[in-house]
Amino acid sequence: MYNWKEKRNKKAFLALADGTVFPAWSFGAETDRLGEVVFNTGTGYQEILTDPSYAGQIVTLTAPEIGNTGFNTADFESIKLHAEGLIVHNYNDASSWRAEQSLQDALIKADIPALAGIDTRALTIILRNSGTLKGYICASGDISHEEGVKRAREWEGLDGQDYASKVSTKELYTFDPEGIMSASWGLTEEPLPKADIPIVVYDFGIKFNILRRLRQQGMNLTIVPAQTPADEVLAMKPAGVFLSNGPADPSAVGYAIENIKQLVGKTPIMGICLGHQLLGWALGGKTCRLKFGHHGCNHPVKELATDKVEITSQNHNFMVDMDSLDKSIVEVTHINLNDNTVEGMRHKTEPAFSVQYHPEAAPGPHDSLYLFAQFKELIQKA
């Protein structure tokens, strides 16, 4: 931790493109970074920072006290930290028996800046009222507030940017062939089923826990780079194809949309988050930007067929435009109860469905885990 003089001087700051500046003290890497500033109502900062979907984003946590649980190898969602920066109200050193290192040490090792001492309530209200803003973290203290605002305004932002290819695997690989990562961690005594269902997973920014949940359904997972052609995927003779989550703007990932068009009707398909949005494009729909996105683990989603409400974990700034979907071939299956946006859809005649939220994340309850079993059933029927 830094001494009281460092905290009091607040030489670091967050500059927003609207001209707002928040003085702060740095507890991460002493580096400066640009990003899209969002707020997240969850507390799982390790899962957030290691989720590739947060590439390009500076995450503001609305919970006031952050850091107590530290960092550990079991809770990584990918091999590294992807967020551009972290904003908190108050940072605490690790005090959990599970902690293997502090949040501060993890951030410094990953060269990611983080700021504390900010009124995150005020910042969240700004983002809620004006919408997501471009921002500049100055952790070094080497530039003026005015220059920070200027750099935030001049940044190209995430619209029209393909970040999926930046975070995707560069080479094909098989996930967890020994079944070690997919164990239940004591939640059940049942062993993993035999991995005898061959699935190809498009990696647009895949999370480990999605792969674990698929493996727990008996799926043998081959992970391929985001730009893998559809004919190469079909040549692997998969029983199904999974479209992963990922960062930034789906309209910029045109190669994936074209590949998905070629896969629809030829193999069962399931998509999550960015994969859901890309499937929407492939089925003739479009996506548009939400005002401040959905980021957190308390979003209510209703399944229309049953009226069942699920409490879900979400992270996305874009959504499938309901009015753009061809209702003769696409059925909306889930809606967000906060704003009535599309949270799930399925093809009416072909084995393909997707959800916007993260059923693997289990934000307390396990409301949405049935979707992975649903994918398995779709494959078996096909």
Query: How many Å apart are CA 344 and CA 334, to the nearest integer?
Result: 4
Q: Is the pLDDT of residue 208 over 80?
A: yes
How many CA atoms lie less than 13 Å away from 48 in the CB half-sphere? 30
Give the mean model confidence (pLDDT) for residues 56-81: 96
| Residue 294 is a catalytic residue | no
pLDDT of residue 181: 87
Structural class in CATH, domain 4-154:
alpha beta
pLDDT of residue 363: 72
Give the mean model confidence (pLDDT) for residues 9-30: 95
| Residue 358 is a catalytic residue | yes
Confidence of residue 366 (pLDDT cuts 50, 70, 90): confident
Structural class in CATH, domain 164-381:
alpha beta
Task: Write down the catalytic residue from 273, 299, 303, 343.
Answer: 273
Domains 4-154 and 164-381 share a fold: no
Query: How many Å apart are CA 237 and CA 247, to the nearest integer?
Result: 28
Domain ranges of the chain: 4-154, 164-381
pLDDT of residue 189: 64
pLDDT of residue 3: 61
| Residue 273 is a catalytic residue | yes
pLDDT (tens digit per residue) in 173-206: 999 999 888 886 655 567 889 999 999 999 999 9
Largest alpha-carbon pair distance within the chain? 65
Of 26, 243, 34, 19, nearest to 136 by C-alpha is 34
pLDDT of residue 8: 73
pLDDT (tens digit per residue) in 92-114: 999 999 999 999 999 999 999 99
Give the mean model confidence (pLDDT) for residues 53-64: 97
pLDDT of residue 25: 94
Residue 37: C-alpha distances to residues 16, 84, 121, 240, 339 (Å):
8, 9, 14, 36, 21
